Amino acid sequence: MSTLRPVRQYVPAMQATEGAGVTVHRTIGTPSLRHLDPFLMLDHFSSDDPGQYIAGFPDHPHRGFVTLTYMIDGHMLHEDSMGNRGDLRSGGVQWMKAASGVIHSEMPQQNDGLMRGFQLWINLPAREKMSDPEYQNFEPEQIPTVTAGGARVRVIAGSYGEAQGPVRDPVTAVQYLDVALDAGARFVHPVEPAWTGFLYLFEGALTVGETALPLHSLAVLGEGDTVSVRAGPEGARFILAAGRPLNEPIVQYGPFVMTTPEEIRRAFEDYQNDRLVRRRARVVSEPGATRP
């Protein structure tokens, strides 16, 4: 018999500024929720005002974790210090293992219109933090979509029914679904009991168990093996994510996430002395990725 996962904590999104002045709405990585092992940060960007996104995210470093970027609307160009170049268009997905060190940029390729999506930071275990960087880029048509019972589910990572998402994270086995529900529709999905899980509502109204989830907020899921939600009268759209926790120390300072303060100090020294990028990244999925 299945056990429904209740809401353990609600986290409202906080406005923050990243890159060259881009407005984002953050839930994981805030004073209310510093980390949600293995997840380190969740940013939701959504604006039709070019003044809030046009400056983009110029060159900046990362070490020690993975970024998973999902573009719902809009167009950004990714370029990095390993020579990767990828167009991230509406419905596209990018997975980048920064590991030992990457310097990259994500710049808007539009001057007007809606730009909307998510970036999720996923931790790496200590043994992987100084490994070779890797990069995956997936076009919208590579993301399977399952429609049934008033639900439309885009499977980015993990599985839903018979569909398997293209993103593979071998360490945390992350599951990442974009779920759109018709008015009053119910969505039920199994999640590994030992995994950390959350929902983020970004359209409509949603009830988790017997409790309504506020719009633009994140629900940390409690113990259980099944997620059950119902859409309100205007329907709903939300992200469901889950992953295997690492249960390791997390020491984060800005764009570097390691396991000790000494490793953070070394990351800053490496960056300041042009030693952050140590190896050539390995592209593990070619579709949608080109070389300059």
Whether 223 is in a domain gets the answer: no
Whether 213 is in a domain gets the answer: no
Retrieve residue 145's tokens.
């979509």
Cα Rg of the chain (Å, integer): 18
Whether 190 is in a domain gets the answer: no
- The one-digit pLDDT tens for each residue of the chain (292 residues) are 789 999 999 999 999 877 767 788 999 999 999 999 999 999 999 888 888 888 888 889 999 999 999 999 999 988 888 888 888 999 999 999 999 999 998 888 888 988 899 999 999 999 999 999 998 999 999 999 999 999 999 999 999 999 999 998 888 999 999 999 999 999 999 999 999 999 999 999 999 988 899 999 999 999 999 999 999 999 999 999 999 999 999 999 999 999 999 999 999 999 999 999 875 544 454 444 433 3
User: Into how many domains does the chain fold?
Assistant: 1
Q: Domain residues for 145? A: 8-174+246-277
Domain of residue 92, CATH code: 2.60.120.10
Whether 292 is in a domain gets the answer: no
Whether 225 is in a domain gets the answer: no
Whether 1 is in a domain gets the answer: no
Number of other residues whose CB lies within 10 A of the CB of residue 160: 21
Whether 98 is in a domain gets the answer: yes
What would the 3-class secondary structure string for 146-195 be?
A: EEECCEEEEEEECEECCEECCECCCCCCCEEEEEEECCCCEEEEECCCCC
Whether 36 is in a domain gets the answer: yes
DSSP state of 20: T
pTM score = 0.92
Q: Are 223 and 3 in contact (CB under 8 A)?
A: yes
